[in-house]
Every structure is written in C-alpha cells, then in structure tokens.
Amino acid sequence: MQAVLSLNGISKSYGSIKALKNVSYEVPEGSVFGILGPNGSGKTTMLSIILDILKADSGSFAWFGQPGSPETRKRIGSLLETPNFYQYLSAVDNLNITEAISGRGNAADIDRVLEIVNLLERKKSKFSSYSLGMKQRLAIGAALLGDPQVLVFDEPTNGLDPVGIAEIRELIKSLAKRGKTIIMASHLLDEVEKVCTHVAIMKRGTLIVAGNVDEVFANEDIVEVSSQDTDHLHNLLNGFNGATKIKQDDNKVQLFFPQGTARLEDINRYCFENGTTLNLLAMKKKSLESKFLELTND
C-alpha cells in the first residue's frame, strides 16, 4: 500500500530540550494512524512539522511521495487547536468565514461538511449555544472544507465528556469509511485502540514502535507463579519449553506465552516433578494498558 506520509529521521530541539529524536515511520493510505504518547512526548511537535508550521532541525518528510508544496497542502485538512469561531455567529456563517480565509471549499461545500459532522439541523444556531462536543465537531467540519484526502487532528477528543468522545470516534470512523487517511495524536490508549488501524508510540521524543495496531498490541497469555524460593523457581522455569519470555517480579515469576498457548497444568506438573510446589499459579491476561505501560516505561 502506498504511503501517504513518510518520515525520515526527523529531529527537533527547543534549546536543550530534544522534542524529537531521529523519528522515522510511514503512514499507509486509508489508515487511521494514531500517534500515541504521554504529554510532552513530541506529538504536537511532529504534527506541526508535517504541517509546515515548524521546521525540523534534521531529517525529511514526504507527502504522497513528494516534498511538501502548496499543491500537496491542499490535500491535507488539519485541526491543531480549536479555531477562533465567532460566538454570536451561526455554524454556517462561521464556516463561510473559514472558507473565505482559507480558500478551501465553496458555499456548497459548507452544507456537505455540516452533514458529515451531524450539525446540518443546527446550522443556523449561534456557536455560543453549542455544546463542547458540537463545537469540536464544527472545528472538524472546518478541516473538511475542500474535501481533503488526509486529515490531521491533535487530541481531537480533549476536554469532551464520554458522549462527546463517542461522537468524535464515530465521526472519525465514518471519515475513514469515506476513504480518508486520518492522522491523530492522542495520549489515550483507549481512544487509539478503538479507532486506529495503525499506531506510532512515542516516549520523550523517541519512537518506541510503529505499525499495525494488531501487531503492536498483540495479546499474550501471562502466567504468574510463585513458590517459597522465587530465585530457584525462576531458574527452574528457564528450562520450561513454550514460554517466549520469563520475568521475575518481586516474589512472583511471570511467564509469557503466545496467545492461547499457556497450559497451567503443564507448568504445575513440570514444577512438581522438579521438586518445587507452587503456592500461586494463575493466568493473567495482558491488558492493553499494561502493554502500553510496558512500552512507554523505562
């Protein structure tokens, strides 16, 4: 599949703060691509660079296989911070102004985007009468003017309540169904997991991993065991076949298996036959949260 965006060794510092360190990845066409990371990990800096708001210190990027140009920019709609809509004007009047300033879209396009963001029926209401979720949908509507092929959103659900979050999620899914490529920054694992097909996980300016969500968050079986002598148990289990990884954690040993392959009775028998009785033997499914923490912790 063709890459809509390719990043090649992007670095950026603010004085002594290294906001991005040699970051490279590709965003496939038609993907919903989540840039996931805690506050300060460099997400906004990266979005600003690919939108030509900031300049990278080194490295390069290409949209649709070409260096950025006014022509390629027309194919990208973005929402980095909430636009300054006029409180006393309606949604339509606000979008008319956005359209006139940006030169994107036309009057006919305004109803089209209002329909997509589900505000057509409220198009004549004043902006000040909108809920936070409606305001954010209008902001997304502004990014849709001119029907760009790619959409870039920074934390699109920030500050919204669960209903507002769900509405934005559905909106992003419907945009993806229309064939748009969506690049969104988020610090919420849950949000990324629910809407994204691909993810890049960032930590303090460094890319931890990028790829298909299913691969990045591949689930594993984890079995926790303990006995009186944890070190001895750890050594013993090093000889047990089938585990992909063994970790000692306080007074427990964790065994990791490919999903669906852990057999508790086999572990129990192996330990018993080697002279160790277990006082804990439990299957612990790995949650995405723990996976995310593991990815982003030192």
Q: How many residues bind ligand ATP (CB under 6 A)?
A: 12
CA-nearest of 232, 240, 238 to 275 is 232
> Which span sits near ligand ATP by CB under 6 A: 1-9, 12-20, 144-152, 282-290?
12-20
- Could you give phi then psi for residue 271, rounded to 5 degrees? -65, -45
Minimum distance from CB of 91 to ligand ATP (Å)? 27
Minimum distance from CB of 25 to ligand ATP (Å)? 15
Minimum distance from CB of 121 to ligand ATP (Å)? 33
d(CA 191, CA 294): 18
Minimum distance from CB of 158 to ligand ATP (Å)? 9
Give the Cα-Cα-Cα angle 130, 128, 139 (nearest 5 degrees).
Answer: 60
Q: Considering Cα of 226, then 227, then 228, then 233, what sign does the dihedral take?
A: negative
Q: Cβ neighbours of residue 78 under 8 Å, at least 6 residues apart?
A: 47, 51, 143, 151, 152, 153
Among 4, 7, 10, 19, binds ligand ATP (CB under 6 A): 19
d(CA 115, CA 123): 9
Binding to ligand ATP (CB under 6 A): which residues in 174-233?
187
d(CA 228, CA 250): 12
Minimum distance from CB of 52 to ligand ATP (Å)? 16
Binding to ligand ATP (CB under 6 A): which residues in 277-296?
none
Residue with tokens 């002598």: 229
Minimum distance from CB of 40 to ligand ATP (Å)? 4
Among 31, 44, 78, 227, binds ligand ATP (CB under 6 A): 44
Binding mask 24-43 toward ligand ATP (x if CB under 6 A, else -) reads: -------------x-xxxxx
Q: Which two tokens stand for residue 290?
A: 């723990």
Check residue 49 for interaction with ligand ATP (CB under 6 A).
Answer: no
Residues making contact with ligand ATP (CB under 6 A) = 14, 17, 19, 37, 39-45, 187
